[in-house]
Amino acid sequence: MSVPTRRSAVLSVLTLIGTLAVPIMAAEPAFASGPLRTHAAARGKFIGYAAANGPLSSEAAYRNIAATEFNQVTAENAMKWDATEPSDNNYTFSNADAIVSFAQANNQAIHGHTLVWHSQTPSWVQGLGASAMRTAMQDHISRVVGRYANSVATWDVVNEVFNEDGTFRSSFWYNTLGQSFIADAFRYARAADADAKLCINDYNVEGINAKSTAMYNLVVSLRNQGVPIDCVGFQAHLAVQYGFPNLQANIERFAALGVDVRITELDVRIPLPADSNEITAQNTYYRNVITACNNVARCTGVTIWGFTDKHSWVPGTFPNEGQALIYDANYGVKPAYTAVHDALAGGPPPVDTTPPTTPGTLTASGVTSSSVTLSWGASTDNVAVTGYDILQNGAVRTTVSGTSATVSGLSSSTAYQFAVRARDAAGNTSANSNTVSITTLPGGGGGGCSAVATVQTQWSGGYVIQPVTVTNTGTSQTTSWTVTFTLPSGHAIVGSWNAALTVSGQTVTARNMPYNGTLGPNASTTFGFQVSRPTGSTSVPSGYTCAV
Ligand code: G3I
């Protein structure tokens, strides 16, 4: 057969974008109609499917959807080693060629899956000694990548090299050749096609975890060595019972390395029989994956691992689980299709109109001349409570994330009323809690203080604030003082001295110790503390406020 060229396919896709996307978007809201590929292309992304040769050759409904809805394809099995080189130097490309032909006829970008994997590799390879195995790998990569150099745009060069804890998988590749097989595979692939984008691919690397961090570190190391690696693939075989990973943050950290990110094998399985909550969760997972990819420029697109529940690897591998794809077994669209479609098209996301429940009983304690500590019971929400508004005399004074807070900066000998309400990400707010009334203590005549903090030292994972100098700026002696400040998200106090620190949400309250609360006018004392912070964070606390 003749293999259509990659250049002509890319030009055709661009032509398609130019001819289809603009008129549709101008004529009506983008989300109103159009196949998935139109909306993906308008974003400069791909939406793909994994092609199975059986239905591709024998089912018109399969072919019709595959051609109409997707602008990218990955061969589900046809480009794997056992399919392309079942015995030494005996190559069979008929199934791979059939997928390439269909893709080219329908202007679809082709992703090659996969060159070096511990699975679906014939036993003749697995039994080779080190030198022969490296030669076999080089020959295989050069022959397969070379054949499709003008048609396959991107390759999974190595697949699934990590264990869940981030150590290297003890595969026959690793055990025979050591870690170097990975760099070698990428170099052989680059030698066979200077233009193809070369990827590493794995599962359970969608969120930030030990496995994805190992992959991240490997990408850094390979790039530092000049190994030609261009992209990473997150397979994304998700399951509603295991929760949704922190995908976008993970995409962003890889993108910051200068590599593309692909979602390569998306499906979302459900324990059977599926109930309506699980189907809703599945829709949300599909929508969230598309949205996360939409939100990061270097995420080039999403491939769904099949598209119809009629042909899916899931039931054969996970008994009693299934319905993982976006079309049902009769080629009818499922709500998951609509979720993918609307996320690609930019249609309105589902509107959350359910407010959180009313917070539990509000109480006040620790009243001083200038502050009060409030505590209340947590609210719940159909999605998530994102914060609590503290209402001071009926107006929102501040919003906090925890269920207690110290309100400072109050006037002495003054009556105040406080209530709290919960809010969610959509802006829905609960009913107000009960109201508490307090009167601040007398100020003792012109009380006041200041707090000035100094960053003594800092490193990537933390810092020391020392000294925080507390000065009595009033005209009479104090017997106590309170300094509040805001801790950046993700930071944690690991130690303090010369003050007692309590943390509520992002608000830290530092109170004097028994021995340093008394300060005459203009007198000062100091305290300090140490904080840990996530690697990469460079922020330090802010908003130091002192009250006596
Ligand atoms: O083609 C033969 C058929 O002739 C035979 O009658 C039948 C009997 O079992 O087997 C058929 O081959 C099967 C092949 O799929 C094609 O359907 C293999 O047994 C079966 O093991 C193979 O499963 C594939 C699996 O990878 C192998 O590990 C799945 O289709 C494929 O979806 C799956 O894909 C992998 C990705 O490559 C990597 N990431 C995980 C993903 C899911 O496991």
- Give the CATH number of the domain where residue 523 resides: 2.60.40.290
Boundary residue ending a domain (345, 373, 401): 345
Instruction: Please say which residue of 419, 439, 459 terminates a domain.
Output: 439
On whether the CB atoms of residues 390 and 418 are closer than 8 A, the answer is yes
Same domain membership, residue 180 and residue 139: yes
Residue with CA nearest ligand 1 atom 3: 54
Written as six digits, the tokens of 171 are 């595969």
Task: Let me know whether 74 and 103 are in one domain.
Answer: yes
Least confident of 184-188, 338-342, 542-546: 542-546
pLDDT of 11: 34
Query: What pLDDT is stored for residue 371 in this prediction?
Result: 86
Ligand 1 pocket check for 119: Cβ under 6 Å:
yes
The answer on 378 and 267 residing in a single domain is no
Tell me, in angstroms, the distance from the centre of ligand 1 to residue 267's CA: 15
Can you give the CATH number for the domain in which 427 is found?
2.60.40.10
| Catalytic-role residue among 69, 76, 206, 265 | 265
CA of 31 to the centre of ligand 1 (A): 35
Q: Can you tell me the distance from the alpha carbon of 471 to that of 412, in angstroms, rounded to the nearest whole number? A: 19
From 293, 310, 345, the end of a domain falls on 345
Kindly state whether residues 130 and 270 are assigned to the same domain: yes
CA–centroid distance, 75 to ligand 1, in Å, is 11
> What is the C-alpha to C-alpha distance for residues 477 and 474, in angstroms, rounded to an integer?
8
Residue 410: strand, helix, or coil: coil
Cα–Cα distance for residue pair 432/370, rounded to 1 Å: 24
Tens digits of residue pLDDT in 41-62: 999 999 999 999 999 999 999 9
For ligand 1, mutation pick of 76, 204, 206, 304 (most atoms within 8 Å of CB): 76
* Segment 315-322 mean pLDDT: 97
| pLDDT tens per residue across span 155-213 | 999 999 999 999 999 999 999 999 999 999 999 999 999 999 999 999 999 999 999 99
Question: Which pLDDT does position 348 carry in this prediction?
Answer: 55
Domain presence at residue 246: yes
pLDDT tens digits, residue range 491-530? 999 999 999 999 999 999 999 999 999 999 899 999 999 9
Residue 381 is which amino acid?
D
- Residue 8 inside a domain? The answer is no
Q: How far is CA 261 from the centre of its chain?
A: 12
Tell me the CA–centroid distance for residue 85 and ligand 1, in Å. 16
> Alpha carbon of 513 to those of 32, 404, 501, 503, 507: distances in Å?
64, 22, 10, 16, 19
Number of domains in the chain: 3
Ligand 1 site, residue 77, Cβ cutoff 6 A: yes
**CA 317–ligand 1 middle distance (angstroms):** 10
At 438 the pLDDT is 82
Do the domain assignments include residue 165?
A: yes
Split at pLDDT 50, 70, 90, the class of 29 is very low
Reported as a pLDDT band with limits 50, 70 and 90, residue 445 is low
Q: Whose CA is nearest to atom 13 of ligand 1?
A: 77
In a domain, 22, yes or no: no
Residue 455 is assigned to a structural domain of this protein:
yes
pLDDT cut 90: percent of the chain above it? 77
Residue 18 lies in a domain: no
Is the CB–ligand 1 distance for residue 265 below 6 Å? yes
146 shares a domain with 74? yes
pLDDT of residue 444: 55
> Are residue 249 and residue 140 in the same domain, yes or no?
yes
139 and 224 in a single domain? The answer is yes
Catalytic residue among 85, 160, 206, 278: 160
Which token pair is 383?
Answer: 């999605």
Residues 435, 469, single domain; the answer is: no
Whether 355 maps to a domain, the answer reads no
**Mean pLDDT across 458-464:** 89
Is residue 125 in a domain?
Answer: yes
Pair 412, 280 in one domain? no
> Would you say the CB of residue 368 lies under 6 angstroms from ligand 1?
no
CATH at 151? 3.20.20.80
77 Cα–ligand 1 center, Å: 7
Q: Determine the atom of ligand 1 nearest the C-alpha atom of 235.
A: 39
- Assess whether the C-beta atom of 267 lies below 6 angstroms from ligand 1: no
Does ligand 1 have an atom closer than 6 angstroms to the CB of 312?
no
Q: What is the number of the ligand 1 atom nearest to the C-alpha of 313?
A: 32
pLDDT value for 352: 74
Residue whose CA lies nearest to ligand 1 atom number 27: 120
Residue 435 sits in the same domain as residue 480: no
Q: Cα(313) to centroid of ligand 1, in Å? A: 7
C-alpha count within 13 angstroms, C-beta hemisphere, residue 172: 19
Mean pLDDT of 307-317: 98
Active site residue 160: yes
d(CA 41, CA 62): 21
| 265 catalytic residue (yes or no) | yes
Q: Whose CA is nearest to atom 30 of ligand 1?
A: 313
Domain co-membership, 391 together with 325: no
- 508 shares a domain with 458: yes
Classified as helix, coil or strand, 458 is strand
- The pLDDT, as a whole number, for residue 309 is 98
Residue 518 structural domain: 449-547
- Tell me the per-residue pLDDT of 138-170, one tens digit each, with 9 for 90 and over: 999 999 999 999 999 999 999 999 999 999 999
Q: How much is the pLDDT for 121?
A: 97
Q: What is the mean pLDDT of the chain?
A: 91
Q: How many CB atoms lie within 10 A of CB 296?
A: 19
Using a 6 Å cutoff on CB, does residue 235 contact ligand 1? Answer: yes
